[in-house]
Structure 1
């Protein structure tokens, strides 16, 4: 692991000043986070003093591959500790801090995102092509809310779940699913431990669709799940795609939270996939990565992953529909 910091004074390799560094991501958070503590001994000339003001650029690499590229968003100094604690975010942070207005008429999400990024000087990588057009008016929403809404709506037609995030300095939107080499995590190799928790706490097994006057129009249910776990119902207002929306909200099996600790692998990041083979918990097959934490401590590198059988998206629906 190598950690670099750059500010108005120049660029610095600060790897030797940190004992622990973590980089994390979550499918519900557009920005990836880096946290580190830099040794600071202002009175000891043997330890170099590096200025790290808020706004400094931060880059972390592992074996030559960039795993984080962002900025110091906050720092903490204390007389009780000989460290400076840094919290850094990648460029996704700014997508949630820029509010704007946009009118979209019969346009593909990928075209709208490319246009928005051009307006704000954001470089783009791959933007998933949907083959779907959307009409919607946004007023006062963040760039992230707009992008997520466009791809959420498109996903109801394509059947895909999309991951939105930055690859270095480029915004990318990808349909979730295996691509290229998929890492295998198994007990006799790189797996440290695994746990599985099953819960119906967030289950939705019935959706009631009402019109604007509050009159029930229809109900969509998973009857087997209702009989087994009890009625857990959501409300939905009638719209052209209400039936499709209702179907996408339903579940009939308990939610599973799968947590895996394994040896560090830079390819295991949110939005990607992993294959797990672990007989005690019964984990066999392809899983989607909902969140990841990469930690370097005392010369060791390891991952903590939250996995899911299903592809999940941070779905949004802001703004107002236009036309029919």
Structure 2
């Protein structure tokens, strides 16, 4: 049984309402912001003296066995006839989705774009890995700050085959690379697994790609195919399914080659995902690697967490994960 703590308030005063916790659920997903937390509290006389008004700018912190698992902003509260109060909070990545603007970046890395956008949103950056690849130009008009960052990461992945993700830790935002860890979780039916299932699909699969550039002169636009990639073995089996992507007219041959390689691994293959449920582990957060053993599916490999939901209730801690297969460790995520 985990020791749970839930603190709510504003500096300098925070209320410890840990004894009133009935249920807590936290969830997150790859490429989505923010992470959220829903805590159900017993609506007792003691809780009546605690401010839960979302318009007061309240901060809450959720700890599991003394370690901070979540910190965020209270966005709603709900009182019911069952004499419970549900507090809904989101981490500070919420501000990236709740602010819109126009941006133009030239020859900047996703790291530089991430830092610039966070600065504009008045959000503190705790750390950011160097993505190295310079994006020739990224222009976004009237879009959320989050979309700008995700566009930069998407272009970086397309050109390098490397994935990165944004996470909030103790009130600070981090840009991290998706990699395996020495402290990786291992799940298997003998120790911590309740159920698992695997889904294979070609719904989002393509068999060929056309990379083209566009040039506009005197209001007339012309296009030129820079490269065509065909996965012939797959196309012979399932038929032609064509994808297109616009590239800069001055793109280098090496960049075209890398885009083609990334596309083939990412989109010209059958997608395979796994749904898993079992005992909870606070290390299992979207974007991280996990070692999965599922003998009935002949699976014993590293997968990456696409979405996660952690639930604490009645003294038990469980989690549900959506896991993604990857062509290789470097392009996983």
Per the normalisation by structure 1, the TM-score is: 0.85
SS at match of 2:130: coil
* 1:287 paired residue number: 303
Determine if the alignment matches structure 1 residue 259 to structure 2 residue 275. Answer: yes
CA contact (8 A) 2:158 2:263 kept: no
The residue aligned with 1:63 is 65
Query: How do 1:81-120 residues align onto structure 2 when only pairs under 5 Å count?
Result: 81-120=82-121
- Within the candidate set 134, 143, 154, 2:156 is matched to 154
The one of 27, 31, 35 equivalent to 1:28 is 31
Tell me the TM-score normalized by structure 2: 0.83
Whether 2:50 is the aligned partner of 1:50: answer yes
Say if 1:234 and 1:98 are closer, same or farther in 2 by CA, change over 3 A: same
Identify if the C-alpha distance between structure 1 residues 120 and 254 changes in structure 2 by more than 3 Å, giving closer, same or farther: closer
Distance 1:182 1:46, change over 3 A: closer
Alpha-carbon offset, residue 96 of structure 1: 1.1
Return the offset for 1:252. Answer: 4.1
Q: Deviations over 1:34-93 (max 9, x none)?
A: 11222225xxx4775533111321111111111110011122334x43222222110111
Unaligned runs of 5+ in 1: 314-324
Taking only aligned residues, the RMSD between alpha carbons, in angstroms, comes to 2.5
Q: 1:302 to 1:82 in 2, by over 3 A?
A: same
Partner of 1:248: 262
Name the SS for the 2:35 alignment partner. Answer: strand
1:294 to partner: Cα distance: 0.8
Q: Is 1:125 the equivalent of 2:126?
A: yes
Match of 1:138 among 137, 140, 155: 140
Residue pair 2:96, 2:121 contacting (<8 A) in 1 also: no
TM alignment of 1:162-201, pairs within 5 A: 162-201=164-203
Following the alignment from structure 1 to structure 2, what is the Cα–Cα distance between the partners of residues 30 and 19?
A: 26
Distance 1:246 1:53 in 2: 51
Deviations 1:134-178 (A, max 9, x none): 343333232212222223223334321111121121111111111
Correspondence for 1:4: 7
Determine if contact 1:130/1:158 at 8 Å carries over to the other structure: no
1:210 Cα offset (Å): 5.0
* CA distance 1:192–1:233, shift in 2 (3 Å): same
2: CA distance between counterparts of 1:182 and 1:275?
Answer: 7
Where 1:152 maps in the other structure, the secondary structure is helix
How far the C-alpha of 1:247 sits from its partner, in A, is 4.4
Higher deviation after alignment, 220-229 or 206-215: 206-215
Task: Please state whether the residue corresponding to 1:29 is helix, strand or coil.
Answer: coil
Once residues 169 and 12 of structure 2 are traced to their aligned partners in structure 1, the CA distance between those partners, rounded to angstroms, is 26
Report the counterpart of residue 318 of structure 1 in structure 2. none
Runs of 4+ in 1 over 6 A off after TM superposition: 214-217
Return the match for 1:18 from 11, 16, 21: 21
User: Could you give the per-residue CA deviations for residues 279-313 of structure 1, whole angstroms, max 9, x where no partner exists?
Assistant: 11222111111111111010101111111122566
Could you tell me how far apart the structure 2 residues matched to 1:186 and 1:238 are? 44
Unaligned 5+ runs, structure 2: 215-221
1:243 is displaced (CA, Å) by 6.0
Secondary structure of the residue aligned to 2:206 is coil
Distance change in 2, residues 1:160/1:104 (3 Å): same
